[in-house]
Amino acid sequence: MRRRGSASIAANPVLIGAATTLVVIVAVFLAYNANNGLPFVPTYQLKVDVPSAANLVKGNEVRIGGTRVGVVDQITPKRLASGRVVATLRMKLETTVKPLPKDSAIMVRPRSALGLKYVEITKGRSEQGYEDGSTIPLSAARPAPVEIDEVFNTFDEKTRDAAQQNLLGFGDAFAGRGQDLNLAIEALNPLLRELGPAMANLSDRRTRLREFTEALGRSAAIVAPVAEEQAALFRNLDTTFSAFASVARPYLQDAISGGPPALDAATRSFPKQRPFLRNSELFFKELRPGAAALGGSARDLADAFEIGTPTLRRSVQLNERLKPLFREIEDFSQDPLVKLGIKDLTTTAKIAKPTIAHIKPVQTTCNYISLWFRNVASLLSEGDSNGVGQRFIIIAAPQGPNNEGGPSSRPASGPNRDNYLHTNPYPNTASPGQTNECEAGNETYDAGRVVIGNDPGNQGTNTEKTQISKNSDPPTR
C-alpha cells in the first residue's frame, strides 16, 4: 500500500508543477534583490555625507581595495547649516567590514567612461570604529572628486577637436600593425631593463631635475606671449617639410646615409686641420693692412696680371732651361769648399757690419749713393759741341788774399763778400753718432762768414730723388 501511495505523489503533475513554480519564484526574488543584499543575511549599515552624488544611483557597489563589500541602499540630499547642499548615502556593508575605522576616507569614483560610479572606501588605522547606523562626516570624503566632464571642460573646443583628430590618426596608424607592435614591445624589454639606473640617476638630487623642470616652466611662461609666432613657425615648418617630401628619396635619403661617414672623416681630419686654420687666421689678420692698401693699387695690379699672364705661360720653357742651373747649384751647395767659403763670408760680414751700419743711412736715409751715380753719369754724358761738362767748364776762384785759387796762409776771410772759406769734408749723413740729418747739399751758404765743418742746426733729411724732375736743380758738374 505504501509503494502505491508514493508512486501516486511522484506521478501527480499538479504537485510537481506547484513545486517548480515555487522554486522559480524564489530564484527570481533572490536575483532581483541580489544588488541590495540577500534576504535574511545580516548587514553593517552606515551613512556617509559626500559633496556630490552625481551619476551615482541606488545599487551601485561599495568597494574596499577593489573588492565589493556592499551596495548603496539609498541616496538623499542634505542641506548643511551653511546652506550648502550635499548628498547622504546609506550603505549596506558586509559584517566583515565592521567596525570601519573612523579615520577611513570615502570617495565617489567613476567605474567606466560611460558614467558608472561606485563608492571607494580607504580603510584607516584608527582603533576606534563607527557603530552600526552611524553617519560618516563630510570631512571623510577626500580628496574632492573630479568629474570626467570637468576634465574635458579644461580644454576648449579647438583642443578637443584636435585631440579627436589625434586619436583618429593614432587609431589609423595602429590599425593592422598588431604584430609590429608586439615586436616593438618585445624590443622595449632591454630598454626597460636598462632604464632603472637611468631613472635612478635622474631622481638623484645631484641632477637637480626639479630645478630644471621649474626652469622649463619659467621658460614656457616667458615664451607664452609669442605663442602665435611659434604656431606660425610650425605651420611654416609643415610647408618646408612638405616640400622636402618630394625629394626625400633618393636625394635626402642619400644625404642622410652619407652623413655618418662624413662625420667620421671630419672627426679624423678636423684635429689635423685646426693648426692650419689657426695659422690661416693669423695670416689673414696680418694681411689686413696690406689688403687695405691694395685698394689704391688695384688698377696697377690688374695691369700686372694682364701683362704677366703671357709671361707666366712662357715661364714653363724657362723652368725647363733652368733645370741644369739648379743641378749645378745643388752640386755647388754639396761641395765641402762652399761651406768654408760661406764661413769666411760670415766672418767678413761680421767684420763689415759696423762699416755697413755706418754707411747704410747714407743711402737709406739720404739717397746719396744713387745721387752720386746719377750725377757721374750726367757729368760724362751732358755737354755741347765743345765737349762734356767735365772737360771745358772752369770754375774761377774769388778774388782776394788767401783765396782758394792758390796757396794761402790761413782760410780765406775777405775782404770781398765771396772770399770766405766754406768747407765741410765730413758732413753729417744720419750715421751712428751723428745728428739725424742729410747735411751734404742742404747747407745754407753764409756769405761774409767763414764756415769750416758742420753747419750749426739740423738741415733735415730731405734730399733730391734719383730721377731729375723739371723743378730740380741741375746735376753737380
47 and 113 assigned to the same domain: yes
Predicted pLDDT at 350 = 92
402 and 346 assigned to the same domain: yes
Predicted pLDDT at 121 = 92
Predicted pLDDT at 35 = 56
464 and 371 assigned to the same domain: yes
Enter the C-alpha cell of residue 43.
548587514
Show Cβ contacts of residue 388 under 8 Å, excluding neighbours closer than 6 positions: 379, 380, 381, 382
Nearest partner of 54 among 115, 111, 1, judged by Cα? 115
131 and 212 assigned to the same domain: no
Predicted pLDDT at 377 = 76
Contacts of residues 138-143 at CB distance under 8 Å and 24 or more positions apart, as own/partner, are 138/49, 138/50, 138/51, 138/80, 138/86, 140/48, 140/104, 140/105, 140/106, 141/48, 141/49, 141/50, 141/51, 141/105, 141/106, 141/107, 141/108, 142/105, 142/106, 142/107, 143/107
Which of the listed residues 227, 254, 281 is the one where a domain comes to its end? 254
Whether 358 maps to a domain, the answer reads yes
| Mean pLDDT, each 10-residue run in order, the chain (477 residues) | 51 68 68 56 87 86 90 91 90 89 90 81 91 90 73 81 88 85 85 83 86 90 88 90 84 86 89 90 88 81 87 87 89 87 91 88 86 79 71 73 86 86 86 86 83 84 66 43
Q: What is the three-class DSSP state of 276? A: helix
Please tell me the distance from the alpha carbon of residue 12 to that of residue 19, in angstroms, as a whole number: 11
Whether 15 maps to a domain, the answer reads no
Angle formed by the axes of helices 368-381 and 336-364, nearest 10°: 80
Q: How many domains in the chain?
A: 3
141 and 197 assigned to the same domain: no
| Peptide linkage before 137 cis (omega within 30 of 0) | no
Nearest partner of 430 among 367, 371, 365, 368, judged by Cα? 365
Is the overall model pTM greater than 0.85, yes or no? no
Whether 350 maps to a domain, the answer reads yes
146 and 232 assigned to the same domain: no
Q: What is the three-class DSSP state of 58? A: coil
Cell numbers 679624423: residue: 268
361 and 413 assigned to the same domain: yes
Whether 192 maps to a domain, the answer reads yes
Whether 292 maps to a domain, the answer reads no
Which of the listed residues 254, 280, 296 is the one where a domain comes to its end? 254
348 and 408 assigned to the same domain: yes
Query: What range defines the domain where residue 98 resides?
Result: 33-153
467 and 397 assigned to the same domain: yes
Predicted pLDDT at 11 = 61
196 and 148 assigned to the same domain: no
225 and 346 assigned to the same domain: no
Whether 86 maps to a domain, the answer reads yes
Which of the listed residues 134, 153, 172 is the one where a domain comes to its end? 153
37 and 95 assigned to the same domain: yes
Tell me, what amino acid is at 28? V
Nearest partner of 129 among 97, 89, 94, judged by Cα? 97
Predicted pLDDT at 37 = 57
Whether 285 maps to a domain, the answer reads no
SS3 content of the chain, % helix, strand, coil (to 5): 55, 15, 35
Predicted pLDDT at 8 = 54
CB atoms under 10 Å from CB of 140, counted, come to 20
Whether 132 maps to a domain, the answer reads yes
